[in-house]
Structure 1
Amino acid sequence: MPDQLIPRAHLFGNPAKAGTRLSPDGRRLAWLQPDAGVLNIFVAPLDRLEDARVVTHDRKRGVRDFSWAYDGHSLLYMQDEGGDENFHIYVVDSEGGPARDLTPFEGVAARVSGTSRKIRDRILLSINRRDKRFHDLYSAILATGELTLVQENPGFAGFIHDDDLTPRLALRRGKDGSSEILRPDGAGGWSQWIIFSPEDARTSSPLHLDASAKTLFLRDSRGRDKAALFRVDVATGETRLIAESDKADLGHVIADRDTYEPLAYSVERERFEYVALDDRIKADIDFLNARDIGDWSIGSRTEDDSLWTVSAQSDTSPAASYLYDRRAKSLRLLHHARPQLIGAPLRPMRPVTIKSRDGLDLICYLTLPQTAEAKAPQPMVLYVHGGPWGRDSFGYNAAHQWLANRGYAVLSVNFRASTGLGKAFVNAGDHEWGRRMDDDLLDAVDWAIRQGVADMSRIAIMGGSYGGYATLVGLTRNPQRYACGVDVVGPSNLETLIATIPPYWESARAQLVKALGDPATEEGRALLRERSPLHAADRLAKPLLIAQGANDPRVKKAEAEQMVAALEAKKIPVAYLLYPDEGHGFARPENALSYHAVAENFLARHLGGRAEPVRAEELSASSVKIEKGASELALP
């Protein structure tokens, strides 16, 4: 008997609770929870969680993330309008009252740049009000919202501040894709201090200053392949290695709450793990590793570091939040993010390393459906991550579980240009969009066929953002390899992609050009055109579903619409879903559910897997507009 169908709403609807955060004094706990069907912030005394009350009242996209300010009662969160990513910064009191917009400016993107235990009544904000390309630093008084300019940005990617909320260092991107750390020159300007070549710029970056602002902690790949952790004396430039790994780049650092000295770091090749640098934290890591909770990370810490919230998950268990008491060495379950999935037929994920045709190790993740136990090749979905400067990881993956439950093998590939696996690997993607990056995907598919995992006649490719681009490339470059494809917010034309990036991406533009090709040169324009699936639309021979947010600032809706128009001109069928109130992905659960309903029925039609029927109310509850191909989708 095949496994029962897991309802889409259990996988892609709102979580029951998420994002647990302790107040700095440890007396209160805050988390995200649906209120009237929309995620909002709830707060409760830590010893009386049953007395929780909602303190925000969003009725649109929901609150996605938040943090406590060091004043102990203010909660900070970001919100945009319809996915346009012009984020406003809001503050709300944990005791209740209306949320206040600290950045009430039209068409401006703001973000929180820093908080300080030393100056608790204010925070640092980055705001691109003066120049849409660059964010100036402002101090914001939490009680009144009063903004004071701290540092005008002359063209930097960002700043590093001290505990006085004073910028001490700056980061600048070079036109060749390099990056630099600068420090004040004593005359009101900034001088070059540390330089990362274009080869090192994607894998090297400043982390933070110590409490005295005399030492900079740095992730650095210069002279090595895997980025290591270093300390640098700000006055003398003396540099000392703290930690390194031959597995992967060093990732997240856990720092001492008082000195900001690194206590532990994470590293991830196939699996995520913490490594202790200091005996003060080794016992905690050992204790949590010994609990049967899966892979874990710290969500929040009290100011005295006695209590942590810990988020843990495994491949067959969605996230759960725990309260960890470091003194008592006790662990208390706070909540499950998706309690409806407890006992559901979730499938195990397996890490596999596949060799590319030119010898690279591709770290991949495979999830098999229950029907694979019959040992016959299965229909398969190649699920491609976005970025491309990101990576797939081991653990609970809603898309893998959804597709495996519907009867598909699911394969995700860390193709070249994926991050965390060394500078040679990430830089191997330069000028290889639509070529060797696609070859890596093909090599993984060939592996799955040779291993008897995949039925070569029933393979789909799908993904979002870069994964959507990879889908369009896969269907046009290899028109007979895939049975169908699903592209979500993927670019179709690399020339127009570069030409329409958000203004505040200006400091990162050089690295994008380094990877794709330079539109200012004839050679670069030829490369961009050659690697744009739009110009190979007439090669597409298999069914395609495109889904797009109308307000996407990264991949404009024109990227979808020009591909649809090109296919229509060639009389090639295509289905196109447009979400007028979404941006780069689908934040509203009603929209996510309607997209997944359409997508799984599209896959079932062309791969032969299972599907929950599309219900008319799923479509009507969302904002979806079926712009093209309604007959191809056979919707109610």
Structure 2
Amino acid sequence: MKSIFLLMLLLFSAAASAEEVKIKWKGDYPHNSSKTWTKDNPYDSGFSKNFKNGTPEEFDEVQKNGELNAFIYSPKDAQGSVPFIILLHGCGGLSTSAKEWSAHVAELLNSQGVGVLVLDSFTTRYVDQSCGPADLHWGRRRADDAYSALDYLIEKKLAKSNEVYLMGYSNGGTTTLVSLTTREADHQHHFAGAFAVAPGCSPSLQHSALYTGAIIFMGDQDDANNPKWCEELAKKKRSVPVQMVEYRGANHGFPVNAPPHDFMGWHLSYNPVAEKDMMQTIIATLKSKRFVKGVESR
């Protein structure tokens, strides 16, 4: 009981330190188009100049402009600009478990002097969830969400412009990889690197060129997203280093401290050893500012 109380106190303390902000969404970039979602065009329409683009998850609504909710966790006694991570939720949106996981990640990173911006892609679009097969449509749509948050942090002078990293879980991990593709390089600001947790590494992503280094963290028992696809992505010859860390015996739910359960036929269970190693690896990479390449089993 004492340990449970301490955990809840930690989560409450982290949540209480978060500042809620509104971020103007930006999508008017050359790599995007004005065409809306249709059944015949489910993925290309992800590169959209519209905040809402007519998907079933958006109840077929199209809306040109919009804003996103975000929660900023700043390191204690932070003065001036600091390194930052933008954190992206999975296909289920910013649910209670996603908020608790985000607060946990923020607490660990804040203790190292790193700020965290938790970005909510769904609430202001009135989207409940986008779960299903690895979805490049929402990965592409949410990439501009991530860049809107990046612009916000730099414009507000909260983050060092060359030390903003991107991190996402599940569909947020897919979004993280999409955001690093050279197609997204027409944005004014760029990420210093990224951490994709249990992403969907579709064949089209495997062949995409990336502009900065990344680490993919995944369980070898992941039955939601195929680990072999991510292995192939990491093995591709690239101009930037991409590493895959694969945890033996871990599944899609390994980073989230929640009771074991099944969701849409996927097996989800917490693996504290893998989660601890992942966070230690991320912190070490932020300190060294160095990414490496290859596939490693742990």
Question: Shorter-normalised TM-score: what interval?
Answer: 0.5 to 0.7
Write the letter of the residue equivalent to 1:605: S
Which of 191, 211, 232 is 1:541 aligned to? 211
Preserved CA contact (<8 Å) 1:365 1:412 = yes
The aligned counterpart of 2:116 is 410
CA-CA distance at 1:16 after TM superposition: 5.7
The aligned counterpart of 1:557 is 227
C-alpha distance after superposition, 1:572-592 (max 9, x if no partner): 422221112011032222222
Residues 598-617 of structure 1 correspond to what in structure 2 (within 5 A)? 598-606=281-289
The separation in 2 between residues aligned to 1:559 and 1:570, in whole angstroms, is 16
Equivalent position SS for 1:584: coil
The aligned counterpart of 1:337 is 7
- Higher strand proportion (structure 1 or 2): 1
The aligned counterpart of 2:75 is 369
C-alpha distance after superposition, 1:427-461 (max 9, x if no partner): 99998434332112211211111111111111100
The aligned counterpart of 1:390 is 93
Equivalent position SS for 2:174: helix
The aligned counterpart of 1:165 is none
The separation in 2 between residues aligned to 1:582 and 1:628, in whole angstroms, is 19
The separation in 2 between residues aligned to 1:579 and 1:356, in whole angstroms, is 36
**TM-score normalised by L of structure 2:** 0.67
Equivalent position SS for 2:224: coil
Write the letter of the residue equivalent to 2:207: H
The separation in 1 between residues aligned to 2:110 and 2:213, in whole angstroms, is 21
Preserved CA contact (<8 Å) 1:492 1:533 = yes
The aligned counterpart of 2:249 is 581
The aligned counterpart of 1:179 is none
Preserved CA contact (<8 Å) 1:577 1:627 = no
Identical pairs, percent: 24
The separation in 2 between residues aligned to 1:356 and 1:465, in whole angstroms, is 22
Residues 283-322 of structure 1 correspond to what in structure 2 (within 5 A)? 320=5
The aligned counterpart of 2:17 is 348
The separation in 1 between residues aligned to 2:221 and 2:75, in whole angstroms, is 36
CA-CA distance at 1:386 after TM superposition: 0.9
The aligned counterpart of 1:634 is none
Preserved CA contact (<8 Å) 1:465 1:489 = yes
Q: 1:551 to 1:345 in 2, by over 3 A?
A: closer
The separation in 2 between residues aligned to 1:571 and 1:535, in whole angstroms, is 13
The separation in 2 between residues aligned to 1:481 and 1:460, in whole angstroms, is 9
CA-CA distance at 1:561 after TM superposition: 0.8
Preserved CA contact (<8 Å) 2:84 2:159 = yes
The separation in 1 between residues aligned to 2:15 and 2:118, in whole angstroms, is 17
- Higher helix proportion (structure 1 or 2): 2
Q: 1:370 to 1:575 in 2, by over 3 A?
A: same
The separation in 2 between residues aligned to 1:486 and 1:348, in whole angstroms, is 24
CA-CA distance at 1:361 after TM superposition: 2.5
The separation in 1 between residues aligned to 2:136 and 2:252, in whole angstroms, is 24
1:597 has 2:285 as partner: no
- Number of residue pairs matched? 233
Q: 1:338 to 1:345 in 2, by over 3 A?
A: closer
C-alpha distance after superposition, 1:97-127 (max 9, x if no partner): xxxxxxxxxxxxxxxxxxxxxxxxxxxxxxx
Q: 1:594 to 1:533 in 2, by over 3 A?
A: same
What are the ranges of 5 or more consecutive residues in structure 2 without an aligned counterpart?
27-63, 255-269
Larger Rg: 1
**TM-score normalised by L of structure 1:** 0.33
The separation in 1 between residues aligned to 2:150 and 2:162, in whole angstroms, is 12
The aligned counterpart of 1:570 is 238
Write the letter of the residue equivalent to 2:276: L
The aligned counterpart of 1:633 is none
